[in-house]
Structure 1
C-alpha cells in the first residue's frame, strides 16, 4: 500500500507538472505575436514612414530638439526601450525571488505591454513621437515579463526535460506568430476588399497583436502556480542594487558569468536581425510589405521545425555544440544578406529560410542551457540578468545599426556590421566548460549537455 501511495503521488506530481508546462507554453503563444507582427514586420517600416512624413527638408526629425535621421528613429527607439528595461528587470527579478508571487508580476508586465501595443492603432499622420513612446513601453514590458516567465522553467521542468520544454515553448510562440501573420497577410493584401486603407490595415494588425497578447496571457495566469519562498521577509533590494548583488554573487560562479557574456554578445546580433530585417528589406531591397510578411511567415513556420529539430539534436550532440553550430549558420546567412540584390524577393526568401531554421533552436537551447547554470532558489534573480542579456542588453546592435545608417546612408553597411556579434559570441561560448559550470552552480550534471 505504501508503494502504491508513493507511485500515485509521483503520478499526481507529474500530471501537475505537465499541466503547468502546458500553461507555460501559452505565454510564448501570447507574447510572440508582438515580437513577430509588431517588432519584426509592421512597426519598423510603418513608424519609419510616419517619421519621414514629419521630417524636415533634410530628412531629419527633432525629438526633444535632437536631430535624428528619420530612417534611424525606429532603431533608436528600440535602444531606448532597452535602457528602460534595464532599470526595471532587476526590480522584477528581485521581487519575484523575494516573495515567490510571480503571477501578479507577470500579469502587470504583460497587460501594460498589451495595452501599449493596442494603442498603436492611433499611430498615423505625423505622430512619430506617439509611436516611439508606445514602442518603448511595449518593448520594455515584454522584456520584464520574460524575466518572470523564464524563471518558471527550472521550477516546472527537471534537468532532463528542460531542452525539450524550452524548445516546445519557442515552437508554440512561432506557431502563434505564423497563424496571426496569415491573418495579417490576408488583411493587408486585400485591404481594399475589406474597405480599409493600407495604413488602416497596418494599424489594425498592430492593435490586434496587443489584443491577442492580453487574451492568451489568461492561460498561463490560470495554470502556473506561485511558490512561497523563505525570502519573503528579507529586506527589499531594488533595481541596480539588486543587479549589483546578483553580479557579485555570480563572481563566485565565473563560468555562469562567462556563458552569460557569450550569450549577451551573440544574442545582441539575433535581436537586432529580428527588429531590423523588415527595415532592411523595405528600405534597402525595395521589397513590398506583402513580400516581407510572406518572408517572416516563412521564418515562423520553419522556426517551429527548427526549434523542435535542434531540441532533438541537443539530445544526441549536446546543447552547447548545437548552439555553436547555429552560430556558424547565423554568420554565413547574415553575410550572404549583404549581397542580396534589390528587388529580388526569391533570394530574400532563401535568406529567410536560413534564418528560420536556426532562430528558434538557438534561442530555446540557450534558455534551457542557462537554466542548468542557475543556483537553486535564485531563478528569477539570475534570469533577470539573463533577460538583460536576451532583450535588456540588446541595445548595442540596434544602436550600431542606426549609427551606421546615419553616417553612411546604407543599410547594407549597417547589416554587415552585425556579423561580428555572431563570430565573437562563438569564440566566447566555445571557451565555456558547461559541465563544470553546472556542477559549480550546485546542480546535477545531465549525461549529455
Structure 2
C-alpha cells in the first residue's frame, strides 16, 4: 500500500468510512433490536434474572454491565492510547477492538438465559469493542487531517455512519416484521410468528457483526499503522496517559471558566447519556403497546424518528448558540431535558412515547455537539489539545458509569419510572452550575 500524505482525500475518506462500518452497532444493537429481543426472553415484565449470585430486575443486569464496560473503557483508554502512540501502532489496537466488538455482536445470536454469563460476555464484547475502537479512531484525526479539514471530514464520517446504520436497520426491521419474506417459517399461529421474528432478531445481530468487520477492512487497508517510530513499552509509557490527565487537572485549577464548565458538563452529561442508553428499555417495559409486533414496530420507528429529528436539533442548536451564546443555549436545552424527565414519568401510551421521543431527538443531537464545541472554545492556548480532550472523554465515561449505577440502584429498589424522574436532579444541578460559568476567562 502506497504511503498517503496527510490531508490526502483518499486517506480522509478511508478514515470516515469506519463510521459507516461501526455505527450499525449503536442503532441496531444498543438502541433498538437488542433491547426488544432481550425482553422476549422473559415470561413477564416483572420476572427476575439470576446472574453473578444475585436475583435482579431484567433491566438492572443490562444497566450494571453497561456501567462496568464504561468503567473499563475509562480506565484502559489513557493507558492504551499512550502505548499506541509510543509504539506507533494505533491501527493494531483499533483492529483488536473492532474484531472484539464484531464477534461480540455475532455471539449475541446465542444469547439466552440458560447461559447468562456467557451471554452478557458477548454483550460486553460488543459494547467495549465499539467504544474501545473509537478511542483510536478519533485519535487518528489530527494525524491524517489538517486543522481546516477536520470539521468537514468529521461531519462526513457522521453522515456515512447515519446512512449506513439506517439502511441496515431498515433491512433488519423488514426481517423482524416480515420474516416470511426472508425464508423464515412463520407457521400458522401467533406464537409461531413471534418465534420467527425472534429468529430474525438473532440473525440481525449477526448482520451487524459481519457488516462491522467487513466494511472496516477498507479503513484498515488505507490507514497508516501509526505516526511514530516503534519503541519498547516501559512502565513510564503505561503511566504516561494518567500523568497527562493529572497535568490537565492541575492546569484546570488556573482556568476558572473551563473548570466550572467541566463540572456542569460532568453532571448533565451523565444524565443525558443514561437516558440515551436506556430509552428503548424504558419504552419496552413501561409503555402499554398492543401486540408484540406493534411494540417492535413502535420502538424501532421511535428510534428512527429520534435520529432524523436529531439532525434538525443540531442545526437549530448551532443557530441558537451563534445568536445567544453557547452557555445560554446549553441552559435552555438542559431545561428542556429537565421537563422531559418529568414527562417520562407520566408516559403510558404509544402516542405519548412518540411525542416525547421527538422532543428527545430535538435536544439530543444539539447538546452533544454543543457541549464538545463549548469545551473546545474554552481551552487555553496550547499545543497539547489531545490531552485536554482525553481528559474530557474520560470525564464523560466516568459520568456514564455514575449515571448508570445510580439509575440501576433506583430501578432495582423502586422502578424505572422513578429512576428517570431522579435524573431531574442532575439536570437541575447542571443548570445551576452552568449559571456559575464566567462569561470570560479572567
Answer yes or no: is the 8 Å Cα contact 2:305–2:358 preserved in 1: yes
Give the CA deviation at 1:33.
Answer: 1.7
**Inter-partner Cα distance in structure 2 for 1:32 and 1:190:** 24
Q: How does 1:48-197 map to 2 (within 5 A)?
A: 48-50=39-41, 52=42, 59-124=47-112, 126-155=114-143, 165-194=153-182, 195=184, 197=196
Judging changes above 3 Å, is the alpha-carbon distance between structure 1 residues 92 and 307 closer, same or farther for their aligned structure 2 residues? farther
Match of 2:191 in 1: none
Judging changes above 3 Å, is the alpha-carbon distance between structure 1 residues 14 and 224 closer, same or farther for their aligned structure 2 residues? closer
**Inter-partner Cα distance in structure 2 for 1:364 and 1:330:** 15
**Inter-partner Cα distance in structure 1 for 2:376 and 2:137:** 12
**Inter-partner Cα distance in structure 2 for 1:149 and 1:414:** 33
**Inter-partner Cα distance in structure 2 for 1:317 and 1:338:** 31
Answer yes or no: is the 8 Å Cα contact 1:82–1:393 preserved in 2: no
Answer yes or no: is the 8 Å Cα contact 2:82–2:240 preserved in 1: no
Judging changes above 3 Å, is the alpha-carbon distance between structure 1 residues 418 and 91 closer, same or farther for their aligned structure 2 residues? same
Give the CA deviation at 1:96.
Answer: 3.4
1:37 equivalent to 2:48? Answer no
Match of 2:266 in 1: 264
Give the CA deviation at 1:266.
Answer: 2.0
Answer yes or no: is the 8 Å Cα contact 1:26–1:217 preserved in 2: yes
* TM-score normalized by the length of structure 1: 0.80
Answer yes or no: is the 8 Å Cα contact 1:272–1:397 preserved in 2: yes
Match of 2:421 in 1: 416
Give the CA deviation at 1:401.
Answer: 2.0
Give the CA deviation at 1:215.
Answer: 2.4
Match of 2:292 in 1: none
Give the CA deviation at 1:345.
Answer: 1.6
**Inter-partner Cα distance in structure 1 for 2:223 and 2:328:** 32
Give the CA deviation at 1:38.
Answer: 0.7
The one-character-per-residue Cα deviations of 1:288-318 (angstroms, maximum 9, x if unpaired) are 1211011001112222343355445555655
2:369 to 351, 364, 373: 364
- How many pairs does the alignment contain? 418
Answer yes or no: is the 8 Å Cα contact 2:108–2:122 preserved in 1: yes
Give the CA deviation at 1:360.
Answer: 2.4
Judging changes above 3 Å, is the alpha-carbon distance between structure 1 residues 403 and 153 closer, same or farther for their aligned structure 2 residues? same
Match of 1:388 in 2: 394
Give the CA deviation at 1:168.
Answer: 4.5
Answer yes or no: is the 8 Å Cα contact 1:171–1:360 preserved in 2: no
SS of residue matched to 1:376: coil
Give the CA deviation at 1:276.
Answer: 1.0
Moved more, 62-71 or 239-248: 239-248
Answer yes or no: is the 8 Å Cα contact 1:267–1:389 preserved in 2: no
Give the CA deviation at 1:242.
Answer: 3.3
Match of 2:406 in 1: 400
**Inter-partner Cα distance in structure 2 for 1:271 and 1:114:** 23
Give the CA deviation at 1:334.
Answer: 3.2
Unmatched 5+ stretches in structure 1: 1-11, 438-449
Match of 1:441 in 2: none
What do you get for the CA RMSD once the two structures are aligned? 3.4
**Inter-partner Cα distance in structure 2 for 1:401 and 1:43:** 20
